[in-house]
């Protein structure tokens, strides 16, 4: 079997066998395939697509060439969650302690932010001392002792995905549905648990711009997950507007804390609650009404908040910041933007992702440093009634104020009437 034969077969729109995909991925992991051949394979796949069986076999090969972390050894009802990322997406920070406080262990391996998409790991590292790098043994111990882990993916899990992703990023092959599906699901299957929930973002601030394309990706991901023995639900959620009332790292942690402590009831909580309801339905066969009540109660009782503090403490984070959010240092420059007319304000997720990036809260290249205190606080939330002169939002930054002001144009609109918006489009 030759690598060139596999590439030419995919170039000619022919279906690759399981054996061919196993061989190709295995050779990639063992560094026996040069970048130019991997890139050729990725482009051929981008142009010609894959059948559902091909995508499933590719995913399986990516899993089997690495280690598998068996969370089912800790609990038979464990689950994992994935989000395709977005602007202001701090759902993981809220969801993990909620579900763990209800007796369902969660091991969530997350990533860093790149471009306009924020990263959960960056947010957590804004808490002094928080350790994102755990060994498999530490992960299993914490999942047993605490029931909740949020950490970086270990290099041994689906190692081919890192190779593929870095080349997709520089070869214009990111937006391939089978490659996206195999990337996401391989990392999830590398953690052996009972169920998987995926929050698939749709809209201006997401890589899936419309529901139709998002539905195609969702169906493929679910098909692969089910074929590999996972119960799976996928939510299509809105990303036309930023989630909640903060964008940034420290700012989003503060919002997550306020939601968990029962102080805030933002759209962040609405999305989290929808996901939590699906988890409880999948794993414990609990009705939607009862599940909603359970989620609300674990917030109002303080159990979810205590679980978050337990998670932070277990991973070395300074609990005092969780108990007193004023200890987080926000960037020194605060640019306040006021409404020039009255009406209902609506924010553009893509534009505010770019503002967050310019402010220093994000990174354009993976090696860039970020400013944990930079970001945006929405004094008026999306869809809220405003009066002329009201402060709409505040941008925190340590960078040039004039550069930031340039990005504000076109980032929001004030409508005379309420615009109907959906938070969750559908559940697949």
Catalytic residue (one of 80, 89, 161, 199): 161
Sequence-distant (≥ 6) Cβ neighbours of residue 301 within 8 angstroms: none
Catalytic residue (one of 10, 123, 168, 222): 168
11 is catalytic: no
Q: What is the Cα–Cα distance from 95 to 98, expressed in whole angstroms?
A: 5
| Cα first-last separation, the chain | 39
300 is catalytic: no
35 is catalytic: no
Phi, psi of 155 (to 5 degrees): -65, -15
Structure tokens at 103: 């007796």
Q: What is the Cα–Cα distance from 380 to 392, expressed in whole angstroms?
A: 5
Catalytic residue (one of 10, 81, 82, 188): 82
Catalytic residue (one of 81, 108, 187, 215): 187
Order of all β-strands in the sheet with 412-415: 385-386, 343-347, 412-415
Sequence-distant (≥ 6) Cβ neighbours of residue 257 within 8 angstroms: 305, 308, 322, 325
Q: What is the Cα–Cα distance from 273 to 208, expressed in whole angstroms?
A: 22
Angle (CA) 353-358-361 rounded to 5° is 70
Sequence-distant (≥ 6) Cβ neighbours of residue 173 within 8 angstroms: 39, 42, 43, 45, 46, 167, 179
**In terms of C-beta density within 10 A (0-12 exposed, 13-18 middle, 19 or more buried), how is residue 32 classed?**
exposed
Contact 317, 331 (CB under 8 A): no
80 is catalytic: no
Catalytic residue (one of 183, 237, 331, 411): 183
175 is catalytic: no
Cα 140 from chain centroid? 22
Q: In a 3-state reduction of DSSP, which class is residue 25?
A: helix
Cα 183 from chain centroid? 13
**DSSP secondary structure letter of residue 200:** E
Residues with active-site annotation: 82, 161, 168, 183, 187
């Amino acid at each position: 079997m030759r690598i060139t034969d596999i590439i030419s077969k995919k170039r000619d729109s022919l279906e690759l066998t399981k054996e061919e995909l196993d061989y190709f991925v295995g050779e990639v992991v063992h560094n026996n395939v040069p970048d130019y051949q991997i890139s050729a394979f990725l482009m051929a796949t981008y142009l010609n697509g894959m059948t559902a069986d091909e995508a499933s076999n590719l995913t399986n090969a990516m899993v089997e060439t690495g280690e598998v972390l068996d969370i089912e050894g800790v609990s038979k009802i464990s689950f994992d969650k994935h989000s395709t990322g977005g602007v202001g997406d701090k759902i993981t920070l809220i969801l993990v302690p909620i579900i763990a406080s209800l007796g369902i262990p969660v091991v969530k391996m997350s990533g860093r932010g790149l471009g306009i998409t924020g990263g959960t790991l960056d947010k957590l590292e804004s808490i002094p001392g928080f350790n994102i790098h755990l060994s498999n043994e530490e992960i299993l111990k914490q999942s047993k002792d605490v029931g909740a882990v949020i950490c970086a993916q270990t290099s041994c899990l689906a190692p081919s995905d890192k190779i593929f992703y870095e080349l997709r990023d520089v070869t214009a092959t990111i937006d391939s549905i089978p490659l996206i599906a195999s990337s996401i699901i391989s990392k999830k299957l590398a953690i052996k648990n009972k169920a998987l929930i995926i929050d698939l973002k749709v809209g201006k601030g997401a890589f899936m711009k419309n529901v139709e394309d998002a539905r195609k990706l969702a169906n493929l991901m679910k098909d692969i997950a089910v074929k590999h023995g996972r119960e799976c639900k996928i939510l299509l959620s809105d990303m036309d507007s930023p989630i909640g009332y903060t964008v940034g790292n420290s700012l989003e942690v503060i919002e997550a804390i306020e939601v968990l402590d029962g102080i805030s009831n933002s759209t962040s909580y609405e999305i989290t609650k929808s996901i939590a309801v699906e988890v409880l339905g999948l794993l414990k066969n609990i009705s939607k009404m009862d599940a909603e009540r359970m989620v609300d109660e674990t917030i109002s009782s303080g159990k979810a908040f205590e679980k978050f503090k337990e998670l932070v403490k277990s991973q070395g984070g300074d609990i005092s910041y969780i108990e007193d959010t004023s200890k987080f240092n926000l960037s020194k420059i605060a640019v306040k933007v006021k409404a020039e007319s009255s009406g209902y304000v609506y924010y553009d997720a893509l534009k505010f992702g770019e503002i967050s990036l310019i402010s220093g809260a994000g990174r354009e290249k993976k090696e860039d440093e970020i400013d944990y205190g930079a970001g945006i606080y929405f004094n008026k939330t999306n869809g809220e009634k405003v009066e002329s002169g009201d402060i709409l939002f505040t941008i925190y930054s340590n960078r040039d104020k004039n550069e930031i002001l340039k990005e504000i144009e076109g980032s929001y609109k004030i409508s005379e009437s309420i615009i109907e918006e959906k938070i969750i489009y559908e559940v697949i």
